[in-house]
Copies of this chain bind each other. A is one copy, B any other.
Amino acid sequence: MILIDGKKTAEEIRKEISVEAKRIFEKRGSRPHLAAILVGHDGGSETYVAHKVKDCQEVGFDSTLVRFEDNVSEDELLEKIRELNINPLIDGIIVQLPLPKHINEQKVIESIDFRKDVDGFHPVNVGRMVIGLPAYISATPQGIVELLKRYRITTAGKTCVVVGRSNIVGRPLSILLSMKGEPGDCTVIVCHSRTPNIEHFTLQADILVAALGKPKFIKANMVKQGAVVIDVGTTRVPEASAKNGWKLTGDVDFNEVASKCSYITPVPGGVGPMTRVGLLYNTLLAASKKIYQ
C-alpha cells in the first residue's frame, strides 16, 4: 500500500508555481494577483480565506482581501465585483462561500467575469470543462486529477466509482475522469444518496473516490483488493483529546480500508492540500492568460 502524500505533492507544485510567478513578474512587472471577498465573520470562512492569502504570499502572488460585514447588500457586493472585473491589476476573483441568506449566491458567482473566475464555479467554466475546452477546473477535482498524474496511476480503461454528485467535487470529477485522454478514459459510475446497495458499485472500483461528506462511510467490505482510494471527506468530528476539540475525519474508514488498497489518500494530508494549491494554479493560469486572452 502506497500512501499518497498530498502535502508533499502540493509543496512541489507550490515551488513550480513560485518559479512561474517570478517569470510573470519579470515579464509584465506585476505579480499574479488574487482578490478574495469575505462577507461576515464565520470561523470556517475566516480560516479558509486566511489560508488563501497566506498561500498567495508564499508563492509570490499579490492578494487583496475585501471584507464586508454580514449586512452588506447584494448590490454593494455586485458593485465591488464589477469593479474587480474591470481592474486590469486583478487576475483572479473569488467570493468565499457561503454568503448570508439575503444574498443570491448564484447571482454573485455569475457576476464574476468568467475570465477571472479562478474557483471555476461560473457556468461558462463548468460548460467549457464538460465540452472539453480549456477552462478553470474547480480546485478539488483538479487536485485529485493532479495526484493521479503525479503518482502515475493509469486511468484509461479503469473503473472509477465516484460516491457523491456535488457541483464542486463529485460531478466535475466524474466528468473529467470519463473524458478522452489521460488522466481520463475511465468507465465512471456516479453513486449518491439515492443509490441502493452502494457496495455493489464500490466493489467494482479500480479507483474509488469518496466525496459524500459522511465520516468513515467507506468500510473495508466495500473496497476491492488493490483499489486506489481517494478520500475527499473533511468533516470535523468532535474529539475530546484533540486540542481544538475536533478531528478532521475523512469519508473512508482509513484503519479498516488502507491495507486493501494499492494507493490511498490520508485525511488530513491527502486531497486537502491539493485543493489549496488548485486555487493558486488557476490564478497562475489567469495571470499567464493560458485559458482566456
Task: Write the residues of chain A forming the contact surface with B, with a CB cutoff of 8 angstroms.
Answer: 106, 122-128, 130-133, 156-157, 165, 167, 171, 174-175, 178-180, 185, 187-192, 194-196, 201
| Complex alpha-carbon distance, A157 and B130, angstroms | 24
Specify which chain B residues have a CB less than 8 angstroms from the CB of A174 in the assembled complex: 190
**Are the CB atoms of A127 and B133 closer together than 8 Å?**
no
Choose one: B127, B167, B191; the contact of A187 (CB below 8 Å). Answer: B191
Number of copies: 2
Quote the shortest CB–CB distance from A106 to chain B (angstroms): 7
Report, nearest first, the 3 A-B pairs whose CB atoms are least far apart.
A127-B127, A123-B127, A126-B127
Besides A130-B175, A187-B191, A187-B192, 17 other A-B contacts (C-beta < 8 A):
A106-B131, A106-B133, A123-B126, A123-B131, A124-B124, A126-B126, A126-B130, A126-B131, A131-B167, A132-B167, A165-B180, A178-B190, A180-B194, A187-B195, A189-B189, A189-B190, A190-B190
- The DSSP consensus for interface residues of chain A is mixed
Specify which chain B residues have a CB less than 8 angstroms from the CB of A127 in the assembled complex: 122-128, 130
| Complex alpha-carbon distance, A179 and B193, angstroms | 11
**Are the CB atoms of B185 and A187 closer together than 8 Å?**
no
Specify which chain B residues have a CB less than 8 angstroms from the CB of A191 in the assembled complex: 187
| Complex alpha-carbon distance, A109 and B132, angstroms | 14
| Complex alpha-carbon distance, A157 and B193, angstroms | 9
**Are the CB atoms of B192 and A190 closer together than 8 Å?**
no
**Are the CB atoms of A178 and B201 closer together than 8 Å?**
no
**Are the CB atoms of B179 and A165 closer together than 8 Å?**
yes
**Are the CB atoms of B131 and A196 closer together than 8 Å?**
no
Specify which chain B residues have a CB less than 8 angstroms from the CB of A123 in the assembled complex: 123-124, 126-128, 131, 133
| Complex alpha-carbon distance, A188 and B127, angstroms | 20
Quote the shortest CB–CB distance from A161 to chain B (angstroms): 9
| Complex alpha-carbon distance, A181 and B128, angstroms | 25
**Are the CB atoms of A130 and B167 closer together than 8 Å?**
yes
| Complex alpha-carbon distance, A127 and B179, angstroms | 16
CB closest residue in chain B, given A168: B131
| Complex alpha-carbon distance, A185 and B274, angstroms | 30
